[in-house]
Structure 1
Amino acid sequence: MANPKTIQEIQEKLKDRLRGTQYESSHLEPLTGGSSNFVYRMTLSKPLDDDATLIIKHAEAHMAVAPANKLNMSRCQIESTCLTALASFNIQTSIESTPRYTVRVPRFYLCDEKNGDQIIEDLHGGINLKQYFLKDFPSNMQNLSQPNLHILGKALAQYIQAFHLNAQNDRQMRDLVKLNQRMQDIRHETNYDWLLQRIEKYPDILEGSRVIFQEVKKMAVRELHSPDTLVPIHGDYWPGNILLKQGSLQAKSDVDIFVVDWEMAQLGPSAIDHGEMVGEMYCLWFYRKIDAGLWMIQGYADGLGKQTEDQTWRTILQIGVHLLTFGTIAPNWGTPEQVKDLAKVGKEIVVNSWKKDRSWVEGTEFACFFANTSESA
């Protein structure tokens, strides 16, 4: 087996392949933040329409940050197909809102499946939503109002909810993401296998909930064995995959928001996407006391629209799973004591949502998810 290519080797090969095409570039700037692919900002030798820079993503048959972890190259086709299918789809907030948000995918230019290359639109001055709030906090929170952040959270929920509903009836999309079995396995493992592993890390907090955690794992397995009940999902829907321009939330003009990294698109419960996004918003508030996290959660719950009780409980359950599996290991979030406290919160969410305890949820930050809930949506 050939040794994994170095970053420099990949960069040189990309330059060679682009030479003589309309995407020929004078410079490739490596970008950080992703784990699966090698990502660069391309400075085009000749601007293309209004674009002087674009983004190129290159995939290998392994994770970029961990070559020992093998990945299926079909993820390139899956992502490019999602970007193409969603090119004309967006969610735009009311014209009365300031700023006015448009949530969409970046424009898609090229997919070279043979070599694992994709070229997409560059958001100039872009930053992901998580870093937007963490960078220079609290000075960057000035002029951010609760109503505007409620609208932002609502728009993010409306976008992914509309994708779930539309893609559910798109046979071509379903058949394509169904092929992403490896990514489905990874998502299941990092949610439900890790959930059980957390018991060993925090036995004094979690051991008493082992039986319920095991039942949650069994439920997740049953879901995977019932594909007709699953929908195409993003698979990695979190603030790190939401891009916007720095300072744009304080602006008075229209704001483009990109939903990126669709390579983990797969069949799954819609709660997987909701739980990850809301869980990460909650961490902003829990670890850093950034009120924007709670404001966006309230908007997100509003944006989901009518839900059945079962759908609502499944979403809240997934929030708890995410807090335990990812919220307790994300680097540089909080102190060891804060991490333990989050494990306690995650446990309470999982246990009480599994029991469907309405009296419990009414006293939490997640009561807002029942505002639009009925016995049948």
Structure 2
Amino acid sequence: MAPLSEEEKSDLINRVLHALSETPYACSSLTQLTNGTTNFVFRGQLVHPIRHIRGEGNEDDTTASTVIVKHSLEHAALNKNLPIDGSRTLYEVSMLSSLNELPSSTLGVETPRLHLFIRDMNIQVLEDFPDVDDLKNVLVLSAGKQTLTAQVATSIGHTIGAWLRSFHNWAIVSNTKFKDFGDNGSMRKLKYAITYGAYLDVLESSFPDLLEGYRLPLHQVKELAMKEFDHPSNDRFTDKNWGLIHGDFWSGNILLSSHLLHHLPQSISNEKLFVVDWEFVQFGHRAYDIGQMIGDLYERWLFRGVEGAIPMIEGFIEGYGQLENDEFAFRIAIHAGVHLIGWYIRRAPGSPLGFPLDLVTDAMRTGRDWISKGWQKDKKYFENTPLARLFSRGGVR
């Protein structure tokens, strides 16, 4: 890991402030947020507050004094030695502009408004949501404190699942609006590298005993994924399970009211949820978004003891709604397993595991089983897992 030095970071902030000074979104200061992995993300204090407007004739009574400023370079924010194509910003900007047409406001889920894009510097100025926290943090902080009831966890999961279904239905590639959107090739390659391109290496290098008797199905899944990630979008127009996906759909990219950490609501019917971070938007199988969220929530339960994570998974599956067939359900299970094994490399290289080795081994074993049993279409195996509802009346027709 090679992050920017303090001097380099200071120079970067000054360049961004200067670029914004010539726009209506001039900021007096920028405070870096901790959730920027590939990009530099700041909260900017506006020199002149702006009025919130959501559509014609729908003006808020409040003004905003802060914005989110996202700056993308040709490398990762946390590692200047890791190159990442800056074109990812163009895809995110295009998607954010298109999302204004997504008819999902009735679900209580919103996406950020894009205020400004400075193309030559890859600077986005985005709507700031006050008094929110990401779902990952809410889950972790709720562990052992009973600040997230099963009822509320299920409700949150259901809302997220219902929104994702509405997005997938709207953004299917056969929709002519998106036929020329492109594949976001650089981020597709990165997604493959950290998922299907990594799980066998993790097991081979660190958990070789877990491969005994499982090598064939695990290799077959990887071979299928290699072919699929090479397919351009034009090859999949007729398959409704393929289309534009969020591409990084996990609890860290879901925001909700931070007051959920401090009291025990009975419902989230009056709460707003927000889906952020669209740079990974790409052509892919819908199972990639669904399986990533399930795998991520399961991590919260396994590693952090978050009891609400399991009802949230169940609510998420119910909210997404009926699946077309078992094949789709098995694909989701496979991707959830791939994501779970990927936990091992979603940390700084060489850093401590942070959890007992036997617990980590259990996670790798579960991931292996979800992949292999999904590939072998072993529905009975999944009856006693948190993925059971994928195959129940709430999942497959």
State TM-score, norm by structure 2.
0.85
Within a 5 Å distance, the mapping from 1:276-315 to structure 2 comes to 276-307=292-323, 308-315=325-332
One-letter identity of the residue aligned with 1:246? S
Within a 5 Å distance, the mapping from 1:1-377 to structure 2 comes to 6-49=8-51, 50-89=63-102, 91=104, 102-135=108-141, 137-139=143-145, 141-142=146-147, 144-168=148-172, 169-178=174-183, 180-200=184-204, 201-226=206-231, 227=233, 228=236, 229=239, 230-248=242-260, 250-251=264-265, 254-307=270-323, 308-326=325-343, 334-372=355-393
Q: Judging changes above 3 Å, is the alpha-carbon distance between structure 1 residues 360 and 210 closer, same or farther for their aligned structure 2 residues?
A: same
SS in 2 for 1:27: strand
One-letter identity of the residue aligned with 1:234? H
- Deviation digits for residues 232-274 of structure 1 (CA, Å, limit 9, x no counterpart): 1111100011112212374567222111110011111111111
Counterparts of 1:53 and 1:348 in 2: how far apart (Å)? 46
SS in 1 for 2:198: helix
Counterparts of 1:232 and 1:334 in 2: how far apart (Å)? 35
Q: Judging changes above 3 Å, is the alpha-carbon distance between structure 1 residues 210 and 157 closer, same or farther for their aligned structure 2 residues?
A: same
Offset, 1:332: 6.4
Aligned length in residues: 364
Structure 2: give runs of 5+ residues left out of the alignment: 52-62
Counterparts of 2:14 and 2:36 in 1: how far apart (Å)? 20
Counterparts of 2:387 and 2:301 in 1: how far apart (Å)? 13
Structure 1: give runs of 5+ residues left out of the alignment: 94-100
Counterparts of 1:14 and 1:317 in 2: how far apart (Å)? 42
Offset, 1:333: 5.8
Offset, 1:337: 1.4
Percent identity (aligned): 29
Offset, 1:152: 1.2
Counterparts of 2:171 and 2:121 in 1: how far apart (Å)? 28
Alpha-carbon contact 2:329-2:395 (below 8 Å) kept: no
Q: After the TM superposition, which segments of 4 or more aligned residues of structure 1 sit over 6 Å from their partners?
A: none
